[in-house]
Amino acid sequence: MPVATSQDIAIVTVGVVLAAAYLFRDQIFRSSSPKVVVPAPSKLANGHGNPRNFVSKMKEGKKRIVIFYGSQTGTAEEYAIRIAKEAKTKFGLTSLVCDPEEYDFENLDQVPEDCCVFFVMATYGEGEPTDNAVQLMQNLEDESFEFSNGSHRLDGLKYVVFALGNKTYEHYNAIGRKVDTLLTDMGATKIGERGEGDDDKSMEEDYLEWKDGMWKAFSEAMGVEEGQGGDTPDFAVTELDSHPPEKVYLGELSARALTRTKGIYDGKNPYPSAVKHSRELFQAGAERNCVHAELDIEGSGITYQHGDHVGVWPSNPDVEVDRMLYVLGLYGKKDAVINIDSLDPALAKVPFPVPTTYATVLRHYIDICAVAGRQMLGVLSKFAPHPKAEAFLKSLNSDKEEYSNIVTNGCFKLGEVLQLAAGDDIKLCPTPDNTTAWAIPFDIIVSSIPRLQPRFYSISSSPKLYPNAIHLTAVVLKYDSIPNRLVESRFVYGVATNFLLNVKYAANGETAPFIAEPVISEPAHVSLPKYAIEGPRGAHIEDNIYKIPIHVRRSTFRLPANPKIPVIMVGPGTGVAPFRGFVQERVALAKRSIEKNGPDALADWGSITLFYGCRKSNEDFLYKEEWPQYAEELKGKFKMHCAFSREPPYKPDGSKIYVQDLIWEERETIAKAILEGKAYVYICGDAKAMSRAVEDTLARILGEAKGGNAEVEGAAEMKILKERSRLLLDVWS
């Protein structure tokens, strides 16, 4: 047995003393002051100091309205702010405008009886809530979720719902409708009718038609009278005489971008990605353009998966920036440094970084190329340079049909509408001599025009083959406007795709061609819109390599993990973009499998079938040279069916053949793959016509395979596919 040394005894003694001191610490170290007991937080706590307690904020700010918005692209947030502004103008009521992601909802039942909750809810994807509204929806749907009253009841709560969606999608306004139903079931009281905005037609018009009836019902339910408010500005714009130039935002989208420091790159801090390679995908002589760009993400920390989306942050074209500067009379001081302060931060946050300049706001931060809103024109009419211009704007504001015929059909931007109202010739390149200046305060411009948002594109590559690059495929948007009594048909250009086309031309040292306007039999004379693609302070060009601000948005549009499961992909036009990534994903897996298990490694793999369509095989067939190579690497597992709508063969009646016709031709194979092979089906592209036609065809195939029809058996099978996430859509209108 080991003998204890004097050192061991000393260590044990010290340990005993310390243990005793700890056990009797209260008696040994007790102070003369009484012990303070801190109560544990409870559901009934008033929440003072808790930044996630919206009821507490309402009470502290004496606000009778709280507005929650579920927004993916910023549109619902814009309408939430509009509602708040109108409540203030009409009734003098201030609102708390809230991102639901930033608040807890246990105390939703504690909203005072003289207050009202607005829900401005967009529907995303396949009837899903927007990312920032996921927790809110979970709380409302979960019957086991208890509010502070200990139950899942909201008796006495007054609420209003405005839903935002697109009728071309199957789950039109599903989230707004669900919120309405859930609140009613929990005993809450709805004020007015539920509003429903359809982005396929005109969200603006749907909102305008809804709001008057809603405000009337709101006035009666809340006991308030119209006329109690006033037309007060949201922002104060101040010109700064001196400010350190390096601290002025000139188009940078974040503080990190301004200081050029590294950080996490996301939607609040986009990454300036170098364009490694870009090329034209359509053949020479084609009427349209399609840009393929490879964006470098090496060293950025950005990762992506097949099926994800890349957000591109464009700027506005030079001509529209100049137009607005001349219309506002600001061209002479376009580079003046300005600061913008919110006069009611709870209602209207400054939507972009400041200090900045007039020109920067118009080029980088607000969407001056959007079609001018009808309600906005009424606000601006009071600043008209002469009575005729005022009457013109008031007519557009009050006459829905006139507004539709001129502004909507003509795709007129705000600057163009103001020029038309003043009698200017909008066909001319704007200059001080041909553009009438309006005395519109700049704070109203900031309040009236929404923030310039990123445009999202399906990533057309796989990280398994291209871990350091994101591939983007985009048809350049250019279309004819509908002529009206004031202006003939003219070309309308998409902001982001023409921005990308400018970058492609510059990166390759190409010269943009001249084009001819529609219905004018003159030589080509109009150039494509030009952009300041070098970026703020020249930050987007380095060693003749151009950069584009981007971020990645995650998607659930994914291949099944098991390659033995058959895959059916339908993607005409640029709808093929994610499927190029899908096929590359399978090619990478096939290479590894063959290296490991030999040439027969793919024998039990499921089929990979792609239905693709375009106009002509020799004009706009995207990635035509790549598909045979993929088929070879996948050892016959990959098959592609192509429909060329503007070349033979045609149907017996002479009509065009589309992807849904090819799907019907392969109906036996498709039915077997889905019903027996448990295939996954993916559709990407146009939601309005193509997607619906493909789903109808699939329902017919499955219905007949089950011995019935599309309406009953087919619909039942389609429902099962969607519920089990075996039918996934990535569509747009």
Please tell me whether 125 is known to bind a ligand: yes
Please tell me whether 494 is known to bind a ligand: yes
Residue 510 CA to residue 289 CA, distance in Å, equals 14
Phi, psi of 239 (to 5 degrees): -85, 130
What is the token pair recorded at 379?
A: 């606000």
Please tell me whether 618 is known to bind a ligand: no
Please tell me whether 726 is known to bind a ligand: no
684, 321, 289: which is closest to 500 by C-alpha? 289
Please tell me whether 537 is known to bind a ligand: no
Please tell me whether 682 is known to bind a ligand: no
190, 237, 195, 439: which is closest to 327 by C-alpha? 439
Q: Strand runs (DSSP E) across 487-615, as ranges?
A: 491-493, 514-515, 526-527, 541-542, 545-553, 567-570, 608-614
Please tell me whether 474 is known to bind a ligand: yes
The residues with which 279 forms a beta bridge, in sequence order, are: 292
Please tell me whether 170 is known to bind a ligand: yes
Known catalytic membership, residue 732? yes
Please tell me whether 164 is known to bind a ligand: yes
Please tell me whether 124 is known to bind a ligand: yes
Please tell me whether 13 is known to bind a ligand: no
Residues sharing a CB contact under 8 Å with residue 139, sequence separation 6 or more, in sequence order: 105, 108, 145
Please tell me whether 135 is known to bind a ligand: no
Catalytic residue among 605, 684, 686, 691: 684
321, 322, 358: which is closest to 339 by C-alpha? 358
Please tell me whether 76 is known to bind a ligand: yes
280 CB burial (10 A radius; 0-12, 13-18, 19+): middle
**How crowded is residue 553: how many other Cβ atoms within 10 Å of its Cβ?**
16
The residues with which 471 forms a beta bridge, in sequence order, are: 294
SS3 82: helix
Please tell me whether 708 is known to bind a ligand: no
Please tell me whether 332 is known to bind a ligand: no
In the sheet that 337-342 helps form, which strands lie side by side, from edge to edge? Answer: 235-239, 337-342, 356-357
Please tell me whether 613 is known to bind a ligand: no
Please tell me whether 659 is known to bind a ligand: yes
Please tell me whether 19 is known to bind a ligand: no
Catalytic residue among 273, 458, 555, 691: 458
Distances, alpha carbon 328 to alpha carbons 175, 322, 323, in Å: 40, 10, 9
Please tell me whether 574 is known to bind a ligand: yes
Please tell me whether 485 is known to bind a ligand: no
Q: DSSP labels for 196-244?
A: EEETTT-HHHHHHHHHHHHHHHHHHHHT--TTSS----SEEEEE-S---
334, 332, 333: which is closest to 321 by C-alpha? 334
Residue 603 CA to residue 340 CA, distance in Å, equals 65
Q: Is residue 484 a contact partner of residue 524, using CB atoms and an 8 Å limit?
A: no
Residues sharing a CB contact under 8 Å with residue 516, sequence separation 6 or more, in sequence order: 522, 523, 524, 525, 526
Residue 296 CA to residue 468 CA, distance in Å, equals 6
Please tell me whether 700 is known to bind a ligand: no
SS3 392: helix
Please tell me whether 9 is known to bind a ligand: no
Please tell me whether 655 is known to bind a ligand: no
Please tell me whether 646 is known to bind a ligand: yes
54, 93, 34, 70: which is closest to 165 by C-alpha? 70
Please tell me whether 374 is known to bind a ligand: no
Please tell me whether 110 is known to bind a ligand: no
**How crowded is residue 436: how many other Cβ atoms within 10 Å of its Cβ?**
18
Q: SS3 letters for 260-310? A: CCCCCCECCECEEEEEEEEEECCCCCCCCCEEEEEEECCCCCCCCCCCCEE
Contacts 24+ apart (CB under 8 A), 338-342: 338/237, 338/238, 338/239, 338/240, 338/442, 339/237, 339/238, 339/240, 340/235, 340/236, 340/237, 340/238, 340/443, 340/446, 341/235, 341/236, 341/238, 342/234, 342/235
Q: Is residue 649 a contact partner of residue 657, using CB atoms and an 8 Å limit?
A: yes
Provide the residue type at 186 as one letter.
Answer: M
Known catalytic membership, residue 458? yes
Residue 87 CA to residue 230 CA, distance in Å, equals 10
| Rg value, the chain, Cα | 30
Please tell me whether 604 is known to bind a ligand: no
Known catalytic membership, residue 273? no
Known catalytic membership, residue 684? yes
End-to-end CA distance of the chain: 86
Provide the H-helix boundaries in 564-666.
577-597, 627-633, 659-665
Please tell me whether 10 is known to bind a ligand: no
* Active site positions, annotated: 458, 684, 730, 732
Residues contributing to the annotated binding site for FAD: 455-458, 473-475, 479, 494-497, 732
Residues contributing to the annotated binding site for NADP(+): 288, 574, 645-646, 656-660
Residues contributing to the annotated binding site: 71-76, 122-125, 164-173, 199, 288, 455-458, 473-475, 479, 494-497, 574, 645-646, 656-660, 732
Residues contributing to the annotated binding site for FMN: 71-76, 122-125, 164-173, 199
